């Protein structure tokens, strides 16, 4: 049906106004960066951990503030007063439960007159600094926990509420920054959940803005060089911008929040929308350049390209929707949001672009024929290459396959926290500062659950806890170990009237029981809850260097072996747990979900291709060339030494969804031309000259569009851009070289 010009203009104005109405909604979008969202749902270790923190507390409820001394030593009166004042002020910060600093700690010891205590550090008595230093550095309890090994900085330990949200974190961090500015404290470092949430959310907002601007500029330049007409470029950019507004408005209307992968949304929407625009616009311009009237060219474009573009949009959406098999909520949300965005982009571009093109004068759209001749020549050359070098193409493909297999064998899942932190950002610098000077961020814990009739406080059980804690200390990467046994070592030292020297655990039950009356004197030196109220559950808490998930797993197995061989497991169940261990399990599930998701995507795409082409052998031509890009992407992970983790796993969904698009466009055009009675070779030649050009153009846009991600400070986003940009070129090569060979073989089989 041919629409009058007034109706077309009315529809265009209506779409434009509706997109502008989305802006107030978009401004209400929020970022969400809760660590719990990255826990693998349905995991038995996760269920145990959630029960465990109900009895105790979370293992990431802290904010550490390191204050380096400007004089080069912490034993400076003005510096210690600054630490004391900050610790006192931070107790009034929102969402803070407890604060510990060097200037607060009192150490108990026995005297002939009873129990006494002394300050760990006398901030107002410089004459005591020498003895304070001797005491401090003869006690492993404080070195690299509250003070670095060179005594150049100390840490104020701020215990926050459990499961602090991003809004609460913002309140706390803003108050912290205001205090530092008001006191003119320029050198300070922060580590902890609250600081991570705030800084990474701010980084993602900047990434989202920057990637949108750079992608828009880049696509504008590419479109200008492709079409050389300002009106065509304007139509394309407005169509893409409107689809972006509709997509973000859809996220706001459905109550979605932006996760750490939100920076990928503008890139995906821009390049997917641009791909649709290029296919539709190229076809329309081809039709009117042949002298067709605008309405006829519009109908022809929608019939021939609209259906193929719909199929490619659906297959791309299926690629993203394959991420729904993931156990990680942000990955699933990204998959469903991106799938919806692809379909929104298709509907917007098909309606808006075609209507605007059809009411535009031809002279504003058409360029000279020099570009057309360029593509005519190169597509003819590619066609001849696929015909004359068919066997060599297959041998090269087999060689590439073997190289990919070797690369895939090198894939690692040794996930590190550092690899997800924005490069050059303050949060990353602070992370490295604490790793080098204090203890690591990655929590590592052992939960101990005693059987009926047993108590953690019994002498033999507490001695086992002490032995396990000592075993923890034998690993250089495990630091800041805390256990209930540490309290009794400190009390035993107090009982002997010593403040320095080696801390030893009581050797007999009588001595041990005599110390239990004094536990309250030393409890203030330990920030964590280490015993449950009923005494049947205990906790050994520690922090570990960021050595990688696989390395942590090796240490975990070694500790489990020690527990089985050296401790009494008949009275207690020892279980390694903690947020770090739970998140590390994602490495296992990423592999599992990746195969499940891709398998489901291949199945659904196969069904769509069967419905479209109605021939099993055409299914082979559509799928086989698209397995090579997936293998190529996996091989790049191995050859480049990139760890396979949750953020990187989305590469395969994107690659498969987009790679299949090119195959569908090529096969749909071939079937259309073949149906007009042309021979197989003539049909292939015509397909190369028309659709081959569009595939090359869209791949150029996709390549440079994803290349924008190389400007990202976020390592997973950078990796996604690098892998997809490289892989899309291989997808185009396999489509243009392998599909013609497969089609000739199919034609021979079908005679």
pLDDT tens, 64-80? 899 998 888 888 889 98
Please enumerate in sequence order all residues whose Cβ is within 8 A of that of 221, keeping only pairs 6 or more positions apart, or say none.
none
Give domain 371-409+585-751's CATH architecture: Up-down Bundle (1.20)
Whether 127 has a pLDDT exceeding 80, the answer reads yes
Tokens of 276: 């649709």
Quote the mean pLDDT of the chain. 80
In 3D space, the residue among 687, 663, 673 whose CA is nearest the CA of residue 735 turns out to be: 663
- What is the rounded distance in angstroms from the CA atom of residue 490 to the CA atom of residue 525? 10
Give, in words, the CATH class of 1-30+228-367: mainly alpha
Tokens of 731: 């997808």
In 3D space, the residue among 31, 468, 86 whose CA is nearest the CA of residue 258 turns out to be: 31
Lay out the sheet containing 189-192: strands in order across. 96-100, 153-160, 62-68, 189-192
CA–CA distance from 623 to each of 151, 203, 315, 362, 665 (Å)?
A: 63, 39, 12, 39, 13
Tokens of 137: 């550095």
Report the percent of the chain where pLDDT is more than 70: 89
pLDDT on residue 365: 67
pTM of the prediction?
0.75
Query: For residue 7, what pLDDT band results from cuts at 50, 70 and 90?
Result: confident
Are the C-beta atoms of 732 and 625 separated by less than 8 Å?
Answer: no
Chain segment 633-671, per-residue pLDDT in tens: 888 888 887 777 766 777 777 777 777 777 877 888 888
Chain segment 679-724, per-residue pLDDT in tens: 888 888 888 887 777 788 778 777 877 777 777 777 777 887 888 8
Phi/psi class of residue 617: alpha, beta or left (left: φ > 0; alpha: ψ in -120 to 50)? alpha
- What is the rounded distance in angstroms from the CA atom of residue 160 to the CA atom of residue 173? 12
Q: Which fold has domain 431-584?
A: Alpha-Beta Plaits (3.30.70)
N-term to C-term CA, the chain: 39
Are the C-beta atoms of 649 and 588 separated by less than 8 Å?
Answer: no
What are the structural domain ranges in the chain? 1-30+228-367, 61-198, 371-409+585-751, 431-584
3-state secondary structure of 290: coil
**CA Rg value for the chain:** 32
Chain segment 209-230, per-residue pLDDT in tens: 777 787 778 778 877 777 777 7
Chain segment 437-495, per-residue pLDDT in tens: 887 778 888 888 888 888 888 888 889 888 998 898 888 888 888 888 877 787 777 77
In this structure, the chain runs to a length of 751
Q: Do domains 1-30+228-367 and 371-409+585-751 have the same CATH topology?
A: yes
Q: Which helix (H) or strand (E) holds 642?
A: none
Tokens of 655: 């690659």
Are the C-beta atoms of 407 and 536 separated by less than 8 Å?
Answer: no
Which residues are paired to 192 by β-bridges? 63
In 3D space, the residue among 446, 391, 473 whose CA is nearest the CA of residue 144 turns out to be: 473
- What is the rounded distance in angstroms from the CA atom of residue 361 to the CA atom of residue 62? 65
């Amino acid at each position: 049906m041919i629409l009058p010009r007034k109706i077309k203009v009315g529809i265009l104005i209506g779409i434009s106004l509706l997109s502008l109405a989305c802006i107030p909604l978009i401004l209400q979008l929020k970022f969400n960066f809760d660590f719990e969202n990255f826990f693998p749902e349905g995991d038995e270790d996760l269920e145990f951990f959630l029960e465990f923190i109900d009895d105790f507390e979370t293992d990431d409820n802290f904010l550490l503030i390191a204050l380096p001394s400007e004089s080069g030593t912490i034993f400076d009166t003005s510096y210690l007063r600054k630490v004391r004042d900050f610790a006192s002020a931070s107790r009034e910060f929102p969402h803070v439960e407890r604060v510990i600093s060097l200037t607060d700690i009192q150490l108990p010891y026995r005297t002939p007159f009873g129990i006494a205590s002394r300050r760990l550090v006398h901030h107002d008595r410089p004459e005591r600094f020498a003895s304070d230093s001797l005491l401090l550095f003869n006690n492993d309890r404080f070195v690299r926990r509250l003070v670095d090994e060179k005594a150049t900085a100390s840490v104020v330990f701020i215990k926050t509420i459990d499961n602090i949200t991003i809004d609460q974190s913002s309140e706390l961090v803003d108050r912290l920054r205001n205090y530092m500015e008001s006191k003119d404290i320029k050198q300070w470092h922060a580590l902890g959940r609250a600081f991570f949430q705030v800084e990474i959310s701010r980084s993602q907002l900047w990434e989202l803005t920057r990637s949108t601007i750079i992608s828009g500029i880049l696509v504008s330049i590419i479109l200008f060089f492709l079409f050389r007409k300002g009106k065509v470029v304007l139509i394309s950019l407005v169509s893409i911008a409107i689809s972006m507004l509709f997509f973000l408005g859809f996220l706001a209307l459905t109550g979605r929040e932006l996760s750490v992968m939100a920076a990928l949304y503008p890139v995906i929407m821009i390049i997917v929308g641009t791909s649709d625009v290029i296919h539709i616009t190229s076809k329309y311009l081809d039709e009117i350049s042949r002298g067709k009237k605008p309405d006829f060219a519009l109908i022809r474009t929608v019939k021939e390209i609209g259906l193929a573009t719909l199929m490619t949009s659906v297959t791309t959406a299926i690629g993203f929707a394959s991420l729904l098999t993931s156990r990680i909520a942000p990955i699933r949300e990204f998959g469903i949001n991106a799938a919806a965005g692809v379909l929104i982009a298709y509907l917007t571009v098909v309606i808006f672009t075609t209507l605007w093109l059809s009411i535009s004068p031809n002279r504003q759209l058409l360029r000279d024929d020099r570009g057309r001749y360029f593509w005519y020549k190169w597509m003819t050359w590619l066609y001849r290459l696929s015909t004359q070098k068919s066997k060599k193409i297959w041998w090269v493909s087999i060689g590439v396959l073997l190289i990919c297999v070797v690369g895939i064998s090198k894939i690692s899942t040794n996930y590190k926290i550092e690899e997800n932190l924005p490069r050059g950002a303050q949060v990353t610098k602070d992370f490295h500062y604490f790793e080098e000077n204090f203890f690591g961020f990655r929590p590592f814990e052992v939960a101990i659950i005693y059987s009926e009739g047993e108590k953690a406080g019994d002498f033999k059980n507490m001695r086992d806890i002490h032995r396990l804690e000592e075993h923890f200390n034998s690993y250089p990467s495990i630091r800041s170990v805390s256990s209930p046994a540490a309290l009794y070592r400190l009390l035993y030292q107090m009982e002997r009237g010593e403040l320095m020297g080696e801390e030893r655990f009581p050797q007999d039950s009588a001595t041990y029981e005599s110390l239990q009356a004094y536990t309250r004197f030393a409890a203030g030196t330990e920030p964590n809850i280490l015993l449950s109220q009923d005494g049947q559950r205990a906790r050994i808490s520690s922090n570990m260097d960021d050595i990688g998930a696989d390395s942590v797993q090796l240490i975990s197995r070694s500790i489990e072996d020690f527990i089985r061989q050296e401790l009494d497991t008949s009275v207690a169940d020892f279980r390694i747990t903690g947020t770090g261990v739970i998140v590390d399990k994602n490495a296992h599930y990423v592999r599992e979900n990746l195969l499940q998701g891709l398998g489901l995507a291949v199945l659904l795409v196969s069904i769509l291709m069967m419905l479209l082409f109605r021939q099993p052998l055409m299914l082979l031509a559509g799928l086989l060339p698209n397995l090579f890009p997936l293998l190529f992407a996996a091989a790049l992970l191995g050859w480049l030494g990139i760890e396979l983790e949750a953020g990187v796993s989305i590469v395969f969904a994107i690659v498969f969804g987009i790679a299949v698009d090119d195959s569908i466009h090529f096969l749909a055009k071939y079937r259309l031309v073949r149906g007009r009675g042309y021979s197989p070779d003539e049909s292939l030649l015509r397909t190369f000259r028309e659709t081959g050009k569009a595939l090359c153009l869209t791949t150029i846009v996709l390549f440079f569009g994803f290349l924008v991600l190389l400007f990202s400070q976020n390592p997973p986003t950078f990796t996604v851009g690098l892998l997809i940009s490289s892989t899309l070129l291989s997808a185009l090569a396999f489509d243009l070289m392998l599909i013609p060979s497969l089609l000739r073989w199919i034609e021979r089989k079908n005679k």
